[in-house]
């Protein structure tokens, strides 16, 4: 089996991608410091516990497992935290990616799938957003992703590197088999926080502004199922290993859902009451972010299978009511 190093493989999207890789006949090796991930999520390959910044540890893992390609998820990914502490984000996300690229060059591994983000686009004036939209991040988190993409371009001209940058919109949902799902502490994403309210673990969900120029006044986001993301990574990896050129791809459902629509869908799927409060707008939140996914469809043959909103909510709820409860209890006992 072809070995693939998956940095951040104990995290939310990384663990789902390890499962998809194993299903597709690859041998995933999760490389994670467990700062934000869960060891329980590493079920389809070994866990190499290590720091991205540790070049010699990375080189050792690349050589020992005879790694043919890398999928790079490991990053800090909270916008508010990045606003509070930009150096932390540059050190971890940019410094870590530089260490990884150096180790790949030395180990002669020239294939990389990189987790970028729609945050590189900032607040575009037109939607849906295509890949040729201007790169104009509006927070340090998005800026670190943009710098990493530029670094990848520069490395691809400096040495033998072929890469794709995957610009995800809002990852949501959980493994359709209920084996893994989203489990962060603290949780910042809207859907798991809404489900916490539905489950009685939180009192209410705060809507940040209902006076945006959208149909119901709340922000619209493009939610894409985590298993669809995982399958896109497998498709991109196969394309690169088959000789495809470097490039960037948007990954979303290709349609938006407002915060109020998300709340209603959670109420319908869970059958529970979900209390909401409405607060002021959060600075830097664009009204609408929706992906144009034509390029990923055409060039990767990718088709989202689970990304209708109801399915994403149903899978996340099933996970939270099942194995996710056990993970949450473990996290509560393990101080960060």
Ligand X SMILES: NC(=O)c1ccc[n+]([C@@H]2O[C@H](COP(=O)([O-])OP(=O)(O)OC[C@H]3O[C@@H](n4cnc5c(N)ncnc54)[C@H](O)[C@@H]3O)[C@@H](O)[C@H]2O)c1
According to DSSP, residue 92 is labeled: I
Q: How many residues does the chain have?
A: 336
CB atoms within 10 A of CB 64: 11
Contact 317, 262 (CB under 8 A): no
User: Minimum distance between the CB of residue 170 and ligand X, rounded to whole angstroms?
Assistant: 5
Cα Rg, the chain, nearest whole Å = 19
Token look-up 């990045």 returns 82
CA quadruple 185, 189, 195, 196: dihedral sign: positive
Choosing from 121, 141, 168, 306, which is the catalytic residue? Answer: 141
Sheet of 247-251, strand order: 46-49, 26-32, 2-7, 67-72, 111-117, 162-168, 247-251
| CA 58 – CA 132 distance, rounded (Å) | 33
- Looking at beta carbons, which residue is closest to ligand X? 11
* Ramachandran category for residue 284: left, alpha or beta (phi over 0 → left; psi -120 to 50 → alpha): left
34 versus 202: smaller Cβ distance to ligand X: 34
33 versus 328: smaller Cβ distance to ligand X: 33
272 versus 308: smaller Cβ distance to ligand X: 308
140 versus 272: smaller Cβ distance to ligand X: 140
User: Minimum distance between the CB of residue 273 and ligand X, rounded to whole angstroms?
Assistant: 26
Question: What are the strands, taking DSSP E only, across the chain?
Answer: 2-7, 26-32, 46-49, 67-72, 111-117, 162-168, 170-172, 205-208, 220-221, 223-225, 247-251, 257-258, 276-279, 288-289
168 versus 317: smaller Cβ distance to ligand X: 168
User: Minimum distance between the CB of residue 227 and ligand X, rounded to whole angstroms?
Assistant: 13
Task: Respond yes or no: is residue 141 known to be catalytic.
Answer: yes
89 versus 317: smaller Cβ distance to ligand X: 89
User: Minimum distance between the CB of residue 187 and ligand X, rounded to whole angstroms?
Assistant: 10
Among 74, 70, 71, which Cα is nearest to 108's? 70
As to burial, measured by CB atoms within 10 angstroms (0-12 exposed, 13-18 middle, 19+ buried), residue 271 is exposed
Among 107, 279, 263, which Cα is nearest to 191's? 263
171 versus 248: smaller Cβ distance to ligand X: 171
User: Minimum distance between the CB of residue 166 and ligand X, rounded to whole angstroms?
Assistant: 8
User: Minimum distance between the CB of residue 179 and ligand X, rounded to whole angstroms?
Assistant: 16
User: Minimum distance between the CB of residue 169 and ligand X, rounded to whole angstroms?
Assistant: 7
| Footprint of ligand X (CB under 6 A) | 8, 10-14, 32-37, 51-52, 73-77, 92, 96, 115, 117, 168, 170-171
Cα–Cα distances in angstroms (integers) from residue 128 to residues 121, 123, 253, 255, 328, in the given order: 12, 12, 11, 8, 36
Residues annotated catalytic, as ranges: 141
């Amino acid at each position: 089996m072809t070995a693939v190093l998956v940095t951040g493989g104990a995290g939310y999207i990384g663990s789902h991608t390890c499962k998809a890789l194993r299903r597709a006949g690859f041998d995933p090796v999760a490389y994670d410091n467990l700062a934000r991930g869960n060891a329980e999520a590493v079920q389809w390959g070994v866990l190499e516990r290590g720091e991205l910044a540790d070049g010699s540890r990375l080189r050792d893992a690349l050589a020992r497992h005879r790694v043919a390609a890398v999928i790079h998820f490991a990053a800090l990914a909270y916008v508010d935290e990045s606003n509070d502490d930009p150096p932390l984000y540059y050190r971890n996300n940019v410094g870590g990616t530089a260490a990884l690229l150096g180790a790949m060059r030395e180990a002669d591994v020239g294939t990389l799938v990189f987790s970028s983000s729609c945050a590189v686009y900032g607040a575009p004036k037109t939607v849906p957003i295509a890949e040729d939209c201007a790169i104009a991040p509006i927070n340090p988190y998005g800026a670190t992703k943009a710098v990493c993409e530029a670094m990848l371009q520069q490395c691809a001209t400096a040495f033998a590197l072929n890469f794709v940058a995957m610009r995800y919109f809002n990852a949501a949902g959980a493994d359709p088999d209920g084996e893994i799902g989203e489990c962060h502490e603290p949780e910042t994403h809207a859907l798991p926080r809404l489900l916490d309210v539905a489950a009685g673990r939180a009192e209410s969900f705060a809507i940040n502004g209902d006076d945006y120029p959208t149909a119901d006044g709340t922000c619209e986001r493009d939610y894409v199922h985590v298993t669809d993301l995982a399958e896109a990574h497998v498709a991109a990896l196969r394309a690169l290993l088959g000789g495809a050129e470097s490039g960037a791809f948007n990954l979303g459902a290709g349609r938006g859902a407002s915060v109020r629509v998300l709340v209603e869908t959670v109420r319908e799927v869970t059958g529970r009451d979900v209390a909401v409060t409405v607060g002021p707008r959060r600075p830097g939140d664009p009204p609408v972010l929706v992906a144009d996914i034509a390029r990923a469809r055409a060039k990767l043959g990718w088709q989202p299978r689970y990304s209708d909103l109801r399915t994403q909510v149903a899978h996340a709820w099933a996970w939270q009511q099942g194995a996710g409860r056990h993970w949450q209890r473990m996290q509560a006992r393990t101080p960060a």
